[in-house]
Structure formats: structure tokens, C-alpha cells
Structure 1
Amino acid sequence: MKGQPAAPASIQRRVRRLALLIGLSAVAIVLVILGLLTVHTLRYSELLHNVTTASEFNQDFKSTIDQKMYYYVIGSQYSDGLPLAEVEAAQQLARELLDTTTQRESRLAISSVLHLCENLEEKIYQIRDTESYDERQAQLENNINVITSLIQEYMYNYLYYEAVQLNALQRDMQIRLMTELVLLALATAALIWVLMRSALRIGRSITEPITRLCTRMEQIGNGDLAKHEPVPSDIFELRTLSEGFEDMAGRLNALMEETTQKQATLRRMELALLQAQINPHFLYNTMDTIIWLIEAGKNAEATQMVSDLSNFFRFSLSKGKDVITLAEEESHVRSYLQIQQARYADILRYTIDLPDRLADVRIPKLTLQPLVENALYHGIKMKRGMGHIYILGKVEGSDVVLQVTDDGAGMSEEQLHRLVDSLDRGERVGFGLSTIHERLRLLFGEGYGLTIHSREGVGTTVFVRIPRETQKEASCETCSELSGSGSPVAGGLPC
């Protein structure tokens, strides 16, 4: 690093850019607040527009409607028909005002105008359908003239409330505008000044220690693992970083061994991702079945199938957990089988018999469901007639043995031998069974995994052996291991 003096300067440039970014952030705040003020101004303009529009509407609406209806009733030669266009225009205008009005009293007034306009339209049609001249005159006086008067009155009320709000908003905007601009200008200037000085001071304080830290790291990279005095610094983070470098030099071999162990952990994580490999055709076929049920009018069956599909994928996610309880895995498998039984009701029956005392036993997510899927597609569907899938569980010493059995087509000795060999070698064959087997062995040890028995024409049984370990016991074991290693327990949860 001594031959590269430009490195500290590069750090200083980054600090300057940080200071510039902070300044630009303050400017952005100013622009945001000015935008808010613009919104207030637009609101003021909107109110003013509403008042102007309402004033124009109110000037000649009543006189126009009354006069045209009078000419129509008396059959005057000046009559040009019913004023339905004017009423429709008034309704449209009232709707537009209602969309842009926020004050409660104003909305009530304009809503009343809209309602009266609709009533007025009905009364106009009523006069049109009345043949008696006297009845028409009575309707004109008692209905038309009264309604137009009410419309005019409510429009005056609307104008009054909007004008009051407009005046209040104008006063409030003037006061707030002056106050916010002054305070904003002072606060922004002070903020920029403080942040710029702080950023530059921090830049100077970290440049020299970081340069020395880089030199020390180059020494460690060249093999100097002797513990040196930490780099002196007034910044806590840099002092801690230097002390950590020196501790790292002394613990490098231990960390290498830890890295090797972590590779196995990463392998577990990689295998855990394989549990998401669910056949997409299952989803397509299920959706097709739901559509068929709906088209056939079997809405209750369709609803149940949607519920089962929802439960199936919810248990597949399991809130991101890789290891769940046997009860949760059972619910997942049950949802899957209920969906498949709706599709294959003529060939599929199933029995699930898992003792309640095993409900809390830990099991990797998506262990049983792929086995059940294999039993259905490669066992039951490959033979003619009704088939049955059995899911059983029992305790053997300190282990739990789960059993997935089908009375389907089964496998020949050659096929079974080839499948067992693939499990032992960890090859990606055998309908995904290798993935399940290897994941179980990585999580629980070499003595656990899958065992397969099969006879051609009789059926297949897959045994899953896992330790009889509950979620709570696993958490306590993790706590004990972490406490014994001197590491803090994540989250501070008690066992």
C-alpha cells in the first residue's frame, strides 16, 4: 500500500461526495415542502374554480327552466320543447362540483342540488305525460317552480360555504407560506453547514487510520500473523476494526477450519432449496379441475378444492422454515391428497395414521409429499383399477419411522436395485428420492434417510427414518451448543 499514495485521497473524495449527497438531500427536502405549498395553491385554485362555476350556473338556471316550462305548458309558439338538456347539463355540473368538493356542508348542498335536478327531471316528464291544461299549470306552480327555487337556494348555500372556506384557506396559506419559508431557509442553511463540517472532519479523522489499516492487512496477507498494537484512532469503529484485525491474525487457522464446516452448512442450504421443486403440472391440472367443477355447477367442490390448494401452498412456504413439525407435514400431505382425490376419485383412496404423540417431531419440509406424489403417479396410476395409499408412523427406540405404501404397479428387482444404488451414491435419479435421502442424512446423520421395498405388481413401500426430536428439544440443544461455545443465543430466547 505504501507505493499507492492515491488510496487515502480516494477515501477523502468519497467523504466529500457523502457531504455533497447530504446537501442535495436537504435541497430535496426543500423541494418537497415547496411541492406541498404548491398543492395548497392548487387547492385554492380548485375552490375558486368551484365558486366561479357555481356562480355561472346559478345566474340563469331558474329563469330559463321556468320560462321554457311555462311556454311548453301553455303551448306557446315560442316553446322549443322540454328543457331536458339544461337539466342534464345542470346534473353534470353538479357531479363535477361534487367530485372536487371536500367540505362537508358544501358537499351536502351540492348533493341536494343533484338530487333536486333528478327530481326536476321526473316532474318534467310528469307534465309531458299529463294532458289536462289545469293539471299542467298546477304541476308547473307546485313542482317545477318550487324545485327550481330550492335548487337556486342550495346553490346559494354552496357558494356561501365555498366562499367561507376559500377566505379561510387564503389567510391560512399566507401565514403558513411566510412562516414555513423562513423556518425552512434557516433550518436548511444550518443543517447543510453542520453536516458539511461534520463530514469533512470525519473524513480527515478516518483517512490516516484506514491507510495504516490497509498497510497492516497487506502484512497479514504476506504472512505476518504476529499480533501488533492496534492502530490508534479517536473513532470507536476504527479502533474496534484494528483490534479485530489483530485478533483475526491469531485465529486464522481456527477460522479456516470453521470455514470448512460452513461449507457443509451451505450444502445443506443448497439441498433445502430443492424442496421447492414441485411439479408445475400439478398446479395446471388442479386449476383445470377447478374450472371444470365451476363449469359443471359444482361450486361447493370447487370452493373446497381452492381451499385445499391454498392450504397446500401455505404449508409449502411454512413461513420460510426448512424444518417443521410432523403435524404440519401431515396437513400439507392431507391437502395434497384431497386435491388429487378430487381429480382421481375413481382410482385413489388414502389412509393417514400418524399418532398424536408424534405431532411435534421435527421433519424437513416436503419430505412426505414427494413420496406420496411418487406413490400416486408411479404406483397407483400405473395399474388398472382402484388403488390405496397408506401413510403410517411408529416409534422405534429413539427414532421415528414413517411409512408411505401404495398397492400400485411396484418395481422389478432390477429397477429397485438401480434405485437403491442411486440413493447410496447420491445421484439425482429416482423421482427425487435421492434429494430427500441426502437431505435427511445431512440434517440428522448417516443412520437416517430412506429405505425402499417394492414388488412388481404388488406395490411399493418407502420407509423414512428420522430421530424422535421435537422442535422444543432442538431449540434447547441449539441453546446448549451456543452457550458452551461462548456465543450468544440468537434472540435471547430461553429454552
Structure 2
Amino acid sequence: MRRLWNHLNSKLFYKMLIVYSLLTVIPLALVTGLFYYRSMQIIETKIRESSKQNIVETSDKLDEMLNGIYQKAKNISIQREVEALLRNSNDSSLYPLSEMDQEVYKSEISALLDKERKSYPLIDSIYIFNNSGEVYTSSNAPGLESETALSGIAHLTPGHMIWAPFIDQGRMISAMEIYDQWSGIKYGVLAVTLSSDGMSEALASYKQGAFFITNLNGLILASTDKSTINTLYKLSNTGQSIINKRTSIYSSYNYISQMPKNAFGKEIRELTYFAIFITLLTWLGVLVLTIAILRHITSPLLRLNRLMRKAERQIFETMQGIKTTDEIAQICRSYNSLIVQINNLIEKVYKVELVKKEAELSAIKAHINPHFLYNTLESISIMAKESGSVEVPRMVQLLSRILRFSITPGLDDVPLNTELTFAMYYLQLHQQRYGDKLHWKTEIEEELLMVHVPKLLLQPIIENAIIHGIQRMDQLGWITIRVYELCYDLVLEVEDNGPGYLNDDDDASYRSEGLGTGLANVNQRIQLLYGERYGLSIHQPEEGAGTLVRMTIPIIIVKEAD
């Protein structure tokens, strides 16, 4: 992948092709995305309105069903055989029945309950409890798990059917107390259960998603998904669904509809796929046109690139067939002009090379001479020692060390400690001449000794202090060398107690030019190495006598090789 990217990134044609493609695809993608987003908003708004209307209609139908069951239960409770049997079970002395009559009424009640159950397929079973706990049911009715609870909730609103906030064997269930029409005495309880399969089928007509019937605590009593019955309803992925809620008129139930948004996004997705197809088709068309145009634009650049690669191999050829006048043509003509100038300069280069060779020979001779001088000084030192002289060998030895340090190749920068060592040699050499008249001291922070400085940086400054300071004095002369750090720069100072730079009347050029020739060379050398902000300056000490030369260079620490 990285190799492919490097290949694409190395070609102007591919870069421009990618840019043109992005300029085409991005606007089309934005238009398609905005169209999809806005369309989804409009359709979602309409679906929400439709869903609200739909749950109202469904809730009304369910309430009508619950009310119908209540009317059917009320009708059952006033049937002759039901009243007769319940009165007898409640007070057999007041309402006596023979055993045969009781059996006949029980049979009739069973037939009645079967008839009512079959006339309303949604009903699963019908139960009648007398005050003695005896139960009369429709055929094949399973036993109840919540008989006592049903009696309790039915007693909350006498004469009305109450729908239980729980299920009995997976079935919704309701209960109603039965009273004597004339005396108002309670005879028993009538209970009706609804078929779970029938409720699922009834709710399955809700085509727009899932539908739930829950109690006030969120327990699912009926649902389009039977696996959720008798579990708590949880609002999940509310951002991905449209949820509506309505409370029943005839019960304490909540009707909840939940419709996923992707259920109505099919048409939008199809439209989006079509838009993407159009986008890709348009991009391919633009890509073909772009390739044709870019070939025309980049062809001269490719030719120019090949000619420039030849020029790197010293094969100088001009570009032919330039017919246009645009910026690329101007570049090609400029290249041709450059090649012509290069060909003209090649002849001059040979002459320059000859002059250069002569300069190199002169440099070699100049390099040989210091070596010859150094060797000669060593011979003089040996001969002086043999003659018994002490000072002459010492001066020759110091001068030899300084000369060897100055001509040693490959040492442009040296540690400050090394530079100070050879500055001391230079001072010791002059002390042989001036004796006790010349004294010196150093003030240096030890951690700065390993900082690298240009070689022979201090020697011209010390020489200037001796010639223009110590040499012009009759009394004791002092030279102080200071090195310290200031604002992350290295400051080197050479101070003498001579007559002073500003009082030097013997050398007008030294005073008027600001820096003498030696000092000017040092200042120019520092600025060439480190820039204009560094360099050399001359000051007069506060006491009013002497000269202080200050040099500022960056702090450079070179890590020594292992």
C-alpha cells in the first residue's frame, strides 16, 4: 500500500487526476447525502403522523373489544340458569333446588359458556365462581393460577369488569362480581381469559412494527412477539425507532407501538443506490475527460523531465516542438535558454579549472613552508640546548607548539580547554620578552571547558592586548581572560590595563575603523560561521583605563566518539 502511495505521489499526472476526481466526487456525494437526509426527515415526519393515527385506531378497536367482552360477561351474569344456580348455592333454604335441577342448570351453564366462547374466538375460557368456591367453566378450560387475586381485583369496582395487571398461564384475564338484580347480594365472580394466540393474531394486523399491551408497571401482557409476553418492556434504540403510547379507556392498560425507522427506508435506500450509481457514472465520465486533458497538459512536462534527467548525466539537449504560449511553454523555453548558457559556460569552466590547479599548487607550497619552518625550529632548539642556553630552547619549544597547533589539519573547532592551553603558550612566549612586566589570569566556569570554539580565536585578541596595551606601558601589565555563559551564548573577554583603545593616539586607523585588521578578521570569521547576531565588540572598563574585547558565539558541545 505504501509503495502504491509513493508511486502515485511521485507523478504529477496522478496527483492532478486524484484532485480532479475528488472535486467531482465530493460535491456529488454531498448532494446525494443531503438529499437522503432531507428525504428521510420528510418521510419520518409523515410516518410519525401516520403512526399516531394508526395507534389511535388500534387502541379504539382494542377498547371496543374489551368493552364487548364486558357486555358479554354482563349478559352471561343475568341468564336464568346462572342466577338460579348461584342463588341456590348462596341460600338453598330460600332458593331450593333438587339435585336433578342443579345438574340440569350446571349442564345449561356449561353449554352457555361454550356457546359464548365459540361466538367470540378471542375468548379462551370463561369461569364462574360461587360464594362457596365451586367453579363452573366452559369446556376444556384449564385451572386458574390466580383465583384469589381475581376475586380481590373484582371487588375493587363492584359491578364492573376489571382487567388484571398480570397474566394467567400466558393469557390476559378479567374478573367481575355477580350480584342479584333485586336484592343486590353478591352471588359470585365471573372471569374471562383471552387466548394468547388469538391476541397475537389480532395484534398482527398492526403492520407497521411491533405492538405491546402492558400494565402500568410495563409488564407485557400481550404482544405481536409472543416471546416478550410476561417480560418488562424496555425502550431500546429509541433513536432508531418511532414509539407511540396510548392508555386504554376501559382498563389500566397501556398500548405501545414501536416501529423501526429502517422499515420505511426501503424506497429511500433504492433512491440512494440510484443516486450513487449516477455519481459513479458521472465520475467515470469526468475521469475519462480528465485523463485526456491531463495528458495534453503534462506531456510537455514529461518531456522536460526526461531532458533534465539527461542534463544530470551531462547530456545537454534542448526541447523541440514548443507550439503553445502558456506557462508550461515558457518554462520549456527558459530551460532551452539555460541549456544554451550551460553549453557556453562549459568552455569557460576549462579555463577556470586551469587557474584552480595553479592555485592548488600554490596552496601546497604554502602548506609545505610551515612544516619546513617547524622542522627548522626543532633543529634550532636542539642546537641551543647543546650550547647550554635555557631561554632560547624554551621560546623555540613554545613557538613550535603554537605553530604545530596552527597547521594541524582537520581541527577547525577545538574544545575551549585546548584553545586556552595554546593561548597560555602564546602568553608564555611573550613573557620571555617582557619578563615580570606581563602577568595574566583566567576567570572561567569549569563546565564551559568542553564547549567547542573556532581554533586560534583568542590568539589575535591577546596579541592585540600585548601590542596596543602592555607594550605601551611602563608599569606592571595585566591581561585577564574571562569566559562565561549569557542568555545561552558563550562570551569570551580579553581585558588589559593598558592606555586604552579610545586613548590610542599612535594608531589613528586602529581607532577610526572601529576594529583593527586582526580584530576585524576575527569578527568577520565569527559572523561567517554563526551569523550577524554574533561577533566582536570593544569596550572601555568602568575604571576608565585599559581595553576590554568581548566576543559572543553560540554554545556548541560536540559529543566525542566512543
TM-score by length of 1: 0.36
> Based on CA coordinates, which of the two structures has the bigger radius of gyration?
2
Structure with greater helix percent: 1
Structure with greater strand percent: 2
